[in-house]
C-alpha cells in the first residue's frame, strides 16, 4: 500500500533524514570541534544544524515537481550514502579532481575501498530509503497553488534565516570565515560532492567552448605534434638505449630513508648508489590529473585535461624519435596517456597482482634486440595506494609491525597504519632494486637507466587526513612531496657524457613533475622543439646534450 503525501511533508522529512543520517560525520566533527556537548557548544551546534536543515529543505522542496521529485530523491540518496561513507572513514574532501578520479577509477581500485561496513552504510542510507521512497505517492496541488507554496516556503526560510543570523552574526561570520572550518564545511552532504561535480562540469564546459580555435596547444586547437629525432651521443655509442621509467602510486618522499626517514625503508636501493632528490613536488594530488601532467611538456601551470589529450606527450615524442615505447600497467589506469603507444595491461578489473609482476613480465634480451630499436619502458605500479596498504606487499616485507590489515583505516591505530604504509614502501624498494639488477644484466648490449617517481603522496592519519586528493592549496605536504630517484649505468654515463657526481650534488634542489618531461627527453638524447633545457635537471651535468628550445 502506497504512502500518500504532498511536496511539503516530503521535503521536511527528506531534509530531516539527510541532516541526521548522511551528515552524521559532519555532526560528529562539528560537536567535537566545539568541545563536544560542553556548556555553550550545544547552542552553537543547534544554530548550524538549523541553518543546514533550512538549506536541505529548500533543495528538496524546490525540486519537488511532478516527474522530477523521485528521480532527484533517488539520485541524492544513492550518491549521498557513499559520499557520507567516504567522509566518515577517510575524511575525503570533495573537489573536481576527486570527482574526476571517481569517474576514471576501475573495479580494482574501488575494491580497496569497499568493505562490509561500506556495504552496510550504502544499504542503510541509500538502498533502503530508496525502496521506501518508491512506495510513497506524492500528490501535487494545481500549478498556481504549487508555485504559491514554493514562494511562501522560500520566503519563510529567508525570514527564519534572518531571525537566526542577525542575533548570532559573530558566530556565523566567524564560522564562515575561519579557515579551519573549511574542512567542516566540505563534509556537508550533498553540497560537498554536488559542488565538486559542478566544478568538474565547469572545467569541461570551458574546454568545450574553446574547441575549434585558439593557439597551438590550447584546448580544442587540434592535436599538437612535435618533431623528434635521436641525437648523436647515445646513437653513436655502438649500443642500444634502454630506459625504464617507474611510475609509483601514493608514495610520499618523507617515507624514504634515502631522503632522511628514520626507518630503513630503502636498504636495497641504498646499495645501488642511486640519486634520490629530497625536495620534489607532484603537480597534483590525485592520479587522474597527476599522470597526464607528469608526461606533458607544459607543466602544472599550463595543464588542462583536453590540452593533455591533444598534445604529444613524452611517450609520443620518444616514439616519434624512434624509441619502442611500452607501458606496463598494473591496474591503476593510464589516464589516456598511452593512446599512441603499446600498452600491456597486467592488472585486471577483478584482480591486480602485487607489483613484482611488472618485473617478471619485462622482455628478455632477445626480445629487446629483436625489435632493432631503442626502448623506453614505463612500469605503472599499484605502489602504496590505500586504504588497503597491507595488500600491497608480501609477507617477507612485513618488517614494521603491528600493521593495519583493514581498509577501514580509522579502525587501526595511527602506528599500525604507518607501519603498513612503510612496509609498502619497503616492497617498492625491493622492486626498484630488482629492476636495476635487470638493467645491469643487459649492459653488454644496452646503455641503461632507471627513473622513479610517484604520481602524488599520501596522508596516513596525520592531523586527521587520510590518503590523498585534497586541492594542492590545502593539501598537507605529505600529499604533495614525492620521491624522485635516478640510476644510470656506467655505459649510459659514458655515452651520454653524464657526470653522476654532479647530479648527486643537485639532490637537495627544488624540483617538481614539471622537470620530468624535459629531463627524460634530455636523458634519451632526443632532439625536439618541445624540449626546454632550463627544465632539464641533468643538463648542467652533461658535457653535451640537446639544444635548448628557441
* 247, β-bridge pairs: 380, 453
Q: What is the pLDDT of residues 139-174, one digit of tens each?
A: 999 999 999 989 998 898 888 888 877 777 656 655
Q: Into which CATH architecture does domain 229-541 fall?
A: 3-Layer(aba) Sandwich (3.40)
- For the segment 42-50, the average pLDDT, to the nearest whole number, is 80
pLDDT at 278 over 60: yes
Pick from 79, 55, 59, 78: nearest CA to 69:
59
Terminal-to-terminal C-alpha distance of the chain: 76
Per-residue confidence (pLDDT) for residue 207, from 0 to 100? 63
Mean predicted confidence (pLDDT) in 212-236:
69
3-state secondary structure of 523: helix
| The pLDDT value given to residue 450 | 98
- How much is the average pLDDT of 103-113? 67
pLDDT at 214 over 50: no
The dihedrals phi and psi of 344, each to the nearest 5 degrees, come to -115, 110
pLDDT digits (tens, 9 = 90+) for 321-337: 999 999 999 877 788 89
Rounded alpha-carbon distances, angstroms, from residue 523 to 495, 519, 533, 550: 11, 6, 11, 19
- Cα 504 vs. chain centroid, distance in angstroms? 30
Q: How confident is the model at residue 56 (pLDDT cuts 50, 70, 90)?
A: very high
Listed in order, strand segments (DSSP E) in 282-405 are: 324-329, 342-345, 375-380
> Could you tell me if 249 and 287 are in contact, meaning their C-beta atoms sit under 8 angstroms apart?
yes
Q: Find the length of the chain.
A: 550
pLDDT band with cut points at 50, 70 and 90 for residue 13: very high
- Is 202's pLDDT higher than 90? no
Task: Give 247's pLDDT tier (boundaries 50, 70, 90).
Answer: very high
User: Would you place residue 352 in the very low, low, confident or very high pLDDT band (cuts 50, 70, 90)?
Assistant: low
Find the helix packing angle between 96-104 and 191-209, rounded to 10°. Answer: 80
Q: In the prediction, which pLDDT does 547 show?
A: 42
| pLDDT score of 41 more than 80 | no
> CA-to-CA distance for 374 and 295, rounded, in angstroms?
19
Q: pLDDT confidence of 217, banded at 50, 70, 90?
A: very low
Bridge-based pairing state of the strands 3-5 and 136-138 = parallel
pTM above 0.75, yes or no: no
pLDDT digits (tens, 9 = 90+) for 374-388: 999 999 999 998 888
What is the per-residue pLDDT for 141? 92
Please, are residues 484 and 506 in contact by the beta-carbon 8 Å criterion? no
pLDDT at 158: 86
- What pLDDT does residue 350 have? 42
Q: Taking a C-beta distance cutoff of 8 angstroms, is the pair 342, 325 a contact?
A: yes
In which band, very low, low, confident or very high, does the pLDDT at 180 lie, cut at 50, 70 and 90?
very low
Q: Do the bridges between strand 342-345 and strand 324-329 make them parallel or antiparallel, or are there none, so unpaired? A: parallel
**Higher pLDDT residue, 345 or 414?**
414
pLDDT at 271: 96
Spans of all domains in the chain = 3-204, 229-541
- Mean pLDDT calculated for residue range 516-527: 97
Spatial separation of the C-alpha atoms in residues 348 and 326, rounded to whole Å: 18
- pLDDT score of 542: 92
Q: pLDDT for 421-479, tens place per residue?
A: 999 999 999 999 999 999 999 999 999 999 999 999 999 999 888 888 888 888 899 99
Q: Which range in 73-87, 207-221, 327-341 is most confidently predicted, on average pLDDT? A: 73-87
Rounded Cα–Cα distance for residues 285 and 44 (Å): 34
Is the pLDDT higher at 214 or at 158?
158
| pLDDT over 90, % of the chain | 61
pLDDT of residue 309: 86
Residue 402: all three cell numbers together = 603491528
Amino acid at each position: 500500500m502506497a504512502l500518500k503525501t504532498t511536496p511539503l511533508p516530503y521535503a521536511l522529512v527528506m531534509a530531516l533524514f539527510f541532516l541526521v543520517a548522511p551528515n552524521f560525520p559532519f555532526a560528529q566533527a562539528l560537536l567535537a570541534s566545539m568541545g563536544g556537548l560542553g556548556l555553550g557548544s550545544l547552542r552553537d551546534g543547534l544554530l548550524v544544524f538549523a541553518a543546514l536543515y533550512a538549506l536541505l529543505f529548500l533543495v528538496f522542496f524546490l525540486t519537488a515537481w511532478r516527474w522530477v521529485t523521485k528521480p532527484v530523491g533517488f539520485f541524492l540518496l544513492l550518491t549521498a550514502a557513499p559520499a557520507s561513507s567516504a567522509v566518515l572513514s577517510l575524511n575525503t574532501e570533495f573537489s573536481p579532481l576527486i570527482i574526476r578520479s571517481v569517474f576514471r577509477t576501475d573495479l580494482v581500485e574501488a575494491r580497496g575501498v569497499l568493505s562490509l561496513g561500506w556495504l552496510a552504510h550504502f544499504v542503510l542510507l541509500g538502498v533502503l530509503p530508496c525502496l521506501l521512497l518508491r512506495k510513497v505517492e506524492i500528490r501535487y496541488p494545481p500549478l498556481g497553488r504549487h508555485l504559491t507554496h514554493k514562494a511562501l516556503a522560500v520566503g519563510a526560510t529567508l525570514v527564519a534565516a534572518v531571525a537566526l543570523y542577525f542575533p548570532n552574526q559573530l558566530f556565523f561570520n566567524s564560522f564562515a570565515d575561519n579557515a579551519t572550518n573549511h574542512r567542516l564545511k566540505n563534509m556537508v552532504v550533498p553540497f560537498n560532492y554536488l559542488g565538486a561535480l559542478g566544478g568538474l562540469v565547469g572545467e569541461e564546459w570551458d574546454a568545450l567552448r574553446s574547441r575549434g580555435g585558439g593557439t597551438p596547444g590550447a584546448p580544442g586547437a587540434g592535436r599538437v605534434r612535435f618533431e623528434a629525432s635521436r641525437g648523436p651521443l647515445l646513437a653513436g655509442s655502438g649500443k642500444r638505449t634502454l630506459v625504464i621509467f617507474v611510475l609509483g602510486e601514493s608514495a610520499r618522499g618523507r617515507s624514504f630513508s634515502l631522503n632522511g626517514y628514520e626507518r630503513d625503508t630503502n636498504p636495497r636501493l641504498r646499495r645501488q648508489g642511486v640519486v634520490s632528490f629530497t625536495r620534489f613536488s607532484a603537480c597534483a594530488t590525485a592520479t587522474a590529473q597527476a599522470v597526464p601532467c607528469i608526461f606533458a611538456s607544459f607543466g602544472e601551470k599550463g595543464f588542462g585535461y583536453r590540452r593533455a589529450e591533444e598534445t604529444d606527450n613524452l611517450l609520443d615524442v620518444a616514439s616519434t624519435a624512434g624509441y619502442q615505447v611500452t607501458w606496463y600497467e598494473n591496474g591503476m589506469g593510464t589516464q589516456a596517456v598511452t593512446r599512441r603507444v603499446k600498452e600491456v595491461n597486467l592488472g585486471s578489473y577483478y584482480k591486480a597482482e602485487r607489483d613484482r609482476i611488472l618485473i617478471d613480465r619485462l622482455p628478455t634480451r632477445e626480445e629487446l634486440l629483436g625489435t632493432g630499436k631503442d626502448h623506453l619502458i614505463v612500469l605503472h605500479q599499484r605502489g602504496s595506494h590505500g586504504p588497503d596498504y597491507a595488500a600491497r606487499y608480501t609477507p617477507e616485507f612485513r618488517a614494521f609491525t603491528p600493521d593495519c590489515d583493514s581498509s577501514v583505516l580509522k579502525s587501526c591505530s595511527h602506528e599500525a597504519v604507518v607501519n603498513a604504509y612503510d612496509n609498502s614502501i619497503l616492497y617498492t624498494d625491493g622492486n626498484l632494486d630488482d629492476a636495476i639488477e635487470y638493467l645491469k644484466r643487459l649492459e653488454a648490449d644496452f646503455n641503461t637507466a632507471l627513473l622513479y617517481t610517484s604520481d602524488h603522496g599520501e596522508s596516513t592519519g596525520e592531523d586527521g587526513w587520510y590518503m590523498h586528493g585534497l586541492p594542492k592549496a590545502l593539501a598537507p605536504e605529505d600529499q604533495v612531496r614525492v620521491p624522485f630517484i635516478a640510476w644510470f649505468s656506467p655505459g649510459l654515463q659514458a655515452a651520454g657524457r653524464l657526470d653522476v657526481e654532479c647530479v648527486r650534488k643537485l639532490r637537495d634542489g627544488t624540483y617538481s613533475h614539471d622537470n620530468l618531461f624535459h629531463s627524460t627527453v634530455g636523458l634519451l638524447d632526443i632532439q625536439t622543439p618541445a624540449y626546454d633545457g632550463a627544465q632539464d635537471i641533468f643538463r648542467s651535468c652533461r658535457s653535451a646534450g640537446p639544444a635548448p628550445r628557441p
